[in-house]
Structure 1
């Protein structure tokens, strides 16, 4: 079972996926008589186990697109680190000054490569 912060992060991502400010057509939380509630947070309050299961299933079927996942889709044979990140600095590639080589930033490569791409 996912933890609370992950639940709310994934529920928000799911909400953006279905709603985009218009309606909730197709949202798993809008199905199974959940629609009788004013919004999905009310639904989550009344049916917490079902809501968590719906969000977990949706998140499993719709993984977040990250800089790493998109880059590896385009370049599947790129050299990667032991953590599975491309073996060069994304920060530098996106415009920071310096050489385009193995990262020597103060943050981890995962902090850059694993960021979600807002679509």
Structure 2
């Protein structure tokens, strides 16, 4: 995990936990160190913690959000919605479409 991905995933992990650090493995393993202190003193451990959390909590994709809201959406053999295009839903501009629906539907949703 490179540094940029580490910081982005750590931020996503922190946001997912809400207020406070309850349940955060960095907090639990820090033994009274503040988060940034633990990351400075034990960078390998911090990266491992964030990497493990990230693997267990993949980013929501266009497809997972659609299926969460419409679980009976028919899917084709590739696991992609039948007769529904992200451009039809306004999720992307038709000019940006490269006709690769698998990649398009599996694109992670950027958090606001």
TM-score (structure 2 length as normaliser): 0.70
Residue 72 of structure 1 and its aligned partner are, at CA, apart by 4.4
For residues 17 and 44 of structure 1, the distance between their equivalents in structure 2, rounded to whole angstroms, comes to 19
Greater CA drift, 45-54 or 65-74:
65-74
- Given that 1:29 and 1:35 are in contact with CA atoms closer than 8 Å, whether structure 2 keeps it comes out as no
RMSD, matched Cα: 3.1
- Paired residues, number: 106
The one of 55, 68, 81 equivalent to 1:60 is: 55
CA shift in 2, pair 1:80/1:86, >3 Å: farther
CA shift in 2, pair 1:8/1:79, >3 Å: same
For residues 64 and 91 of structure 2, the distance between their equivalents in structure 1, rounded to whole angstroms, comes to 20
Alignment of 1:1-119 (within 5 A): 2-18=1-17, 20=18, 22-37=19-34, 40-72=35-67, 74-75=71-72, 77-79=74-76, 85-86=80-81, 88-94=84-90, 104-108=94-98, 110=103, 113-116=106-109, 118=111
Unmatched segments (≥5 aa) in structure 1: 97-102
Residue 69 of structure 1 and its aligned partner are, at CA, apart by 2.1
TM-score (structure 1 length as normaliser): 0.67
For residues 66 and 112 of structure 1, the distance between their equivalents in structure 2, rounded to whole angstroms, comes to 7
The superposition leaves residues 68-117 of structure 1 with CA deviations (integer Å, 9 ceiling, x where unpaired) of: 22334524641266xx6546431321378xxxxxx953255546651326
Partner SS state of residue 90, structure 1:
coil
Unmatched segments (≥5 aa) in structure 2: none
Residue 31 of structure 1 and its aligned partner are, at CA, apart by 1.1
